[in-house]
Amino acid sequence: MCKKFFLTTLCISQKPIYNVHLKKDDTGIPHRDLRGTHIKDRTTKQDKDQIRAHIERFPHVESHYCRARSNKKYLDPTLNIQKMYDLYLEECNEQQKEPQKICLYRRIFNYEFNLEFLKPKTDRCDIYEEHRLAR
- Sketch the domain layout of the chain as residue ranges: 45-134
pLDDT tier for residue 3 given thresholds of 50, 70 and 90: confident
Res. 132: pLDDT tops 80: no
pLDDT tier for residue 115 given thresholds of 50, 70 and 90: confident
How many other CB atoms are found less than 10 A from the CB of residue 56?
10
Report the interhelical angle of 45-56 vs 102-112 (nearest 10°). Answer: 60
Q: What is the pLDDT of residues 53-99, one digit of tens each?
A: 999 998 887 765 555 566 778 888 888 899 999 999 999 999 999 99
Res. 120: pLDDT tops 60: no
Round to whole Å and give the CA distance between 11 and 59: 58
Find the mean pLDDT for residues 122-134: 63
Distance set, CA 128 to CA 39, 104, 123, 133, 135 (Å): 51, 38, 10, 9, 11
Give the per-residue pLDDT at 73: 83
Round to whole Å and give the CA distance between 105 and 76: 18
Distance set, CA 77 to CA 68, 90, 115 (Å): 22, 21, 11
Question: What's 24's DSSP letter?
Answer: B
Q: What is the pLDDT of residues 14-59, one digit of tens each?
A: 898 888 888 888 888 888 888 878 777 788 899 999 999 999 998 8
Give the per-residue pLDDT at 37: 80
